[in-house]
Amino acid sequence: MKLIHRIKVKLLTKNGKVLFSNFMYLSLLQVASYLFPLFTLPYLARVIGVGKFGEIAFAQAVIVWFQTFVDYGFIYSAVRDIARCKSNLNHVSHIYTNVMWARLLLVLISFIFLIGLIILIPLFYEKRLILFLTFFIVVGQAIFPDWLFQAFERMKYVTILNVLIKLLFTVLVFIFIKEEQDYLYQPVLMSLGYIVSGLISIRIISKWGIHWNKPNLFMISDTIRRNTSLFINQIIPNLYSNLSVILLGFFYGHIENGILDVGRKFVSIAISFMMILSRTFYPFLSRNISRHNLFFKLNLLVSFVMTIILFFFSQIIIDCFFTSEFRQAVIVLKILSFSIVFQSLINIYGTNYLIINGYEKETRNVTLVASVVGGVLTIPCTFYYGYIGVAAAITFSTGLMAFLMIMEYRKVKSKK
């Protein structure tokens, strides 16, 4: 009760009102990105079947690597840097220009690499059409500068716009997907939602007096170079997490991928909510790290509540949204629910303390160790235990990363 009272008191301050406002709009933005597709899941599962559903999950698992590569840690470094100088629009335009051009360059590199994978790997060649269509999500993400709105703590305009656009394209799923062979419309509609949102957001930013200038190759390469540690910190967990999905497709086929994806969907939504808390506080803590303790208590409380709900109500959740074909996803949901608390600890001690204070390399090293262990563990777990092994490996690796992040935090605090 004392914690809840303290939170209410903090929300009455000016900074508290800004935090609450940005939290609400970031929440709405995540609703557009995650809950709208969730509304279409039962319909898609019934119309296209578990096999095609697994193909979509396979393509998204591959494309997530490229999404993380194109982001390259800019959602942390750009937000932190702009939050500290947002009154200087010339400096903001400089950061904005370099980040946007860097992301587009990384899109080009990603597309070339995807073509190489399709040529070299038979499974990728077989699924080349859905991979190409899903790749346009990467293009849309690259031109959608939500990180700039976050740094300015002005999420209102871009959130309302994106919710309306994503709602429109969610409705279009029910209009265009009527039978199994229509499953390719799903990645097309998702990609269009991202691209339209990005283009309109760029227009809004230009009205603020922030300009996207001509590219400077030296500055672009320097921007990418300085973000390498943050990029490694982001890409490595995705490597072992999404590698397991691809291995599961190789070993067992797309039906098991579909079951795993259904169980992960709800945990992903919960973790996305935790990321909203993290992203809401990130620009604020970049200027007021002394308030870290309040963030710690709030984040941990919410993550425990979510874990308990998903663990004990997993059967009801799966039965409510899906047909009996997906009932085996219950055990996946139960196992992965523990990763919500672990991810919360990573946000608390890694993203919102170590990275804010400039310890990107230390954070990167922790992530490398935990991810290598996770990657090694994933292969036998996937081969012998299928989707249950994948869920267990991901949860264990996330827990190990959280533990090592706490140890690094304590080491830094003791030095101070």
Q: Which residue has the higher pLDDT, 92 or 279?
A: 92
Beta carbons within 8 Å of 151's beta carbon, 6+ residues apart: 78, 79, 80, 81, 82, 83, 86, 283
pTM of model > 0.75 = no
Q: Provide the pLDDT for residue 116.
A: 93
Q: Place 340 in a pLDDT band, splitting at 50, 70 and 90.
A: very high
Q: Provide the pLDDT for residue 76.
A: 77
Asked if 48 and 180 count as a contact pair (C-beta separation under 8 A), the reply is yes
Q: Place 110 in a pLDDT band, splitting at 50, 70 and 90.
A: very high
Q: Provide the pLDDT for residue 5.
A: 54
The token duo for 218 is 């030296």
Lowest mean pLDDT among 251-260, 264-273, 307-316, 403-412: 251-260
Q: Place 106 in a pLDDT band, splitting at 50, 70 and 90.
A: very high
Asked if 55 and 130 count as a contact pair (C-beta separation under 8 A), the reply is yes
Q: Which residues of 376-403 are buried (b: 16+ CB within 10 A; e: fewer)?
A: ebbbebbeeebbbbbbbbbbbbbbbbbe
Helices (H), 121-184: 122-126, 128-142, 146-151, 156-176
C-alpha to C-alpha distance for 44 and 58, rounded to whole angstroms: 15
Lowest mean pLDDT among 44-53, 287-296, 355-364: 44-53
Q: Provide the pLDDT for residue 181.
A: 78
- Mapping DSSP to helix (H, G, I), strand (E, B) and coil, where does residue 209 land? coil
Q: Provide the pLDDT for residue 14.
A: 56
Asked if 334 and 354 count as a contact pair (C-beta separation under 8 A), the reply is no
Most confident option among 33-42, 101-110, 188-197? 101-110
Please determine, for residue 363, whether its predicted confidence score (pLDDT) is greater than 90: no
Q: Which residue has the higher pLDDT, 399 or 10?
A: 399
Q: Place 6 in a pLDDT band, splitting at 50, 70 and 90.
A: low
Q: Place 349 in a pLDDT band, splitting at 50, 70 and 90.
A: very high
Per the document, the length of the chain is 416
Q: Provide the pLDDT for residue 194.
A: 80
Q: Which residue has the higher pLDDT, 13 or 399?
A: 399
Please determine, for residue 187, whether its predicted confidence score (pLDDT) is greater than 90: no
